[in-house]
A and B are shown apart, each in its own frame.
Chain A
Amino acid sequence: MSSPREPAPGTGRGAPALVAQGICRSFGGREVLRALNLTIGRGEFVAILGRSGCGKSTLLRILADLDPEAVGKVEVPARVAVAFQDARLLPWKRVAANVGLGVRDPDVEARVARALADVGMTDRHRAWPSTLSGGETARVALARALVREPELLLLDEPFGSLDALTRLRMQELLATLCARYRPTVLMVTHDVDEALLLADRVVVMVDGVLEHEVTMGAAASRTRSGDRFGVLREQLLGMLGVHGH
């Protein structure tokens, strides 16, 4: 299950949704990404784990076309949506306007209403972002990403700043919405459990490349009580250099 260097391409759902080849990025001579390769199949949910500062956000920024200085080849679909850890809702726009921003569709309002309903924020559509709680903010950020009906959804620790309980709720919500809309997802997380619960495949970034990967297989393993859950958890923690649990 742990294949060195070259992660296998997508899980066989036709042409891949994302191909990144030989991605390199250094900051002032310090190499952060070193010829990193990643392929994600259509509809696949991939989680990236890695130590803090290893370059996960850097990779996501490159894939989101936010880094003009990166080297390498990136193929992504036309519709890519990003949800940042810090939400980045524009404070001068109400919730609904934030969600609908940049959506080119005569029926934006109906789409926004549906997206807000999906995340359970219908009654807050006229609120200012500064008045939302952390969990509400994360939900709006998720709605803003999903309303674009993305073919590729990039999530950078979308629930990183939430308390444990809200985080569990949000994970359930994300799983439900992904089952409904089947986007291709690449999610960065610090949380091994979160990765195991949500992803089809978990990759581990070490020294600027995706060093290990774990494929989840049957959905049955994706519950905390499943037999494999504990085994995979130990394995991933080991890959992250955490031992003795």
Chain B
Amino acid sequence: MSDVGTTRQLALGTGRRHRRILPRWVRRLAGPLLLIAVWLMLTATGLVSSRTFPTVPDVWRAGSALVSQGVFLPALGVSARRVAIGLAIGLGSGLVIAVVAGMWGRAEDVVDSGMQVFKAIPTFALVPLLIVWLGIYESPKITLIALATAWPVYFNTFSGIRNIDRRFVEAAHTLGLGRWGIVRHVVVPGSMPGFLVGLRISLTNAWLALVIAEEINATNGLGMLLSDARIAFRLDRIVFVIVVYAALGMLSYALVRLLEERVLVWRPGFEGEQ
């Protein structure tokens, strides 16, 4: 009827529409809260029997008990330490290998194809081998976490370095920067987006690897809590530990997001501090 095209109402004011109403992190928190609400409703109404899945108060009580008995925090500490050490080794070696392969042309083919093979092996299939080689205490656990976190950082940093526009390297050269200056002002910031993608995957993998690693001889750590709860058939404790894993995973995800917002402000379309 009307031959006028579409008319769009543009956001009024200066900022984006949602900005003033709620900060982003509050909005992001709504998802998990919604899940808890669903859980609360399903169990409180008896739609799901508490023998199948514990209620929210049950889990809360189980958690408080574990904390007050002085069991939970030491276990968390042991597990966090494993993740921290494994992650440090994994991230460090992934980064170093990526820089060597990315910066030193002759190393690229050998290193990269080697890492491709490595990627093709499911890391967790190495568990029996690690036990045979390294025993059942800390070293196989930390090694497994390191292995699971090294390759995401490697691949993403390597492709980050590879994808740096050669024209920026040339520009830096004409500005009088030497090799080290080019690494510092072009290669490092230029490969940062790739590295951060890798870091995010590595953090996810770290918690995953922790669960698998702590099934080896579970005498301490969150893995012990989990296997003890399973043996005692304590659903409330099992779910409590699962909730803890979820919280840790989300916390590390939030940390990477924070880091990205700090480091990648320069990217087009990135809304950060001005």
Contact A64 B174 (CB under 8 A): yes
0 or 1 for each of B246-274: is its CB under 8 Å from A? (1 = yes): 00000000000000000001111000000
Interface residues of B in 171-189 (CB under 8 A from A): 171-177, 181, 185-186, 189
Residues of B within 8 Å of A104, CB to CB, are: 176
Q: Please tell me if A159 contacts chain B, counting CB pairs below 8 Å.
A: no
B interface residues, tally (CB under 8 Å) = 20
Q: Please tell me if B167 contacts chain A, counting CB pairs below 8 Å.
A: yes
Q: Please tell me if A90 contacts chain B, counting CB pairs below 8 Å.
A: yes
Q: Please tell me if A88 contacts chain B, counting CB pairs below 8 Å.
A: yes
Residues of B within 8 Å of A86, CB to CB, are: 167
Residues of B within 8 Å of A129, CB to CB, are: 266
Given B167, B174, B189, B266, which contacts A80 in the complex, CB threshold below 8 Å? B174
Distance (whole angstroms) from the CB of B83 to the closest CB of chain A: 30
The main secondary structure of chain A at its interface with chain B is loop
**A101/B177 contact (C-beta < 8 A), A66-B170, A88-B170 known:** yes
Given A82, A92, A128, which contacts B174 in the complex, CB threshold below 8 Å? A82
Give complex CA distance A144, B177 in Å: 14
0 or 1 for each of A64-100: is its CB under 8 Å from B? (1 = yes): 1110000000000000111010101011111000000
Given B173, B175, B266, which contacts A91 in the complex, CB threshold below 8 Å? B266
Contact B268 A84 (CB under 8 A): no
Distance (whole angstroms) from the CB of B5 to the closest CB of chain A: 27
Q: Please tell me if B118 contacts chain A, counting CB pairs below 8 Å.
A: no
Contact B189 A102 (CB under 8 A): no
Distance (whole angstroms) from the CB of A162 to the closest CB of chain B: 19
Contact B185 A93 (CB under 8 A): yes
Contact A102 B266 (CB under 8 A): no
Distance (whole angstroms) from the CB of A17 to the closest CB of chain B: 17
Contact A130 B172 (CB under 8 A): no
Distance (whole angstroms) from the CB of A67 to the closest CB of chain B: 10
Give complex CA distance A94, B274 in Å: 11
Residues of A within 8 Å of B174, CB to CB, are: 64-66, 80-82
Given A65, A84, A128, which contacts B167 in the complex, CB threshold below 8 Å? A84
Q: Please tell me if B160 contacts chain A, counting CB pairs below 8 Å.
A: no
Give complex CA distance A70, B122 in Å: 48
Residues of B within 8 Å of A102, CB to CB, are: 172, 175-177, 181
**A90/B171 contact (C-beta < 8 A), A101-B185, A102-B176, A102-B177 known:** yes
Contact B266 A92 (CB under 8 A): yes
Q: Please tell me if B86 contacts chain A, counting CB pairs below 8 Å.
A: no
Chain B residue with the shortest CB-CB distance to A89? B171
A66, A88, A92, A104 — most chain B CB neighbours (10 Å): A92
Give complex CA distance A6, B170 in Å: 31
Apart from the given pairs A90-B171, A92-B192, A130-B268, 10 other A-B contacts in the complex at a CB distance below 8 Å = A84-B167, A88-B170, A90-B185, A91-B266, A92-B190, A92-B266, A101-B177, A102-B181, A128-B268, A148-B175
Binding site for A on B (CB under 8 A): 167-168, 170-177, 181, 185-186, 189-190, 192, 265-268
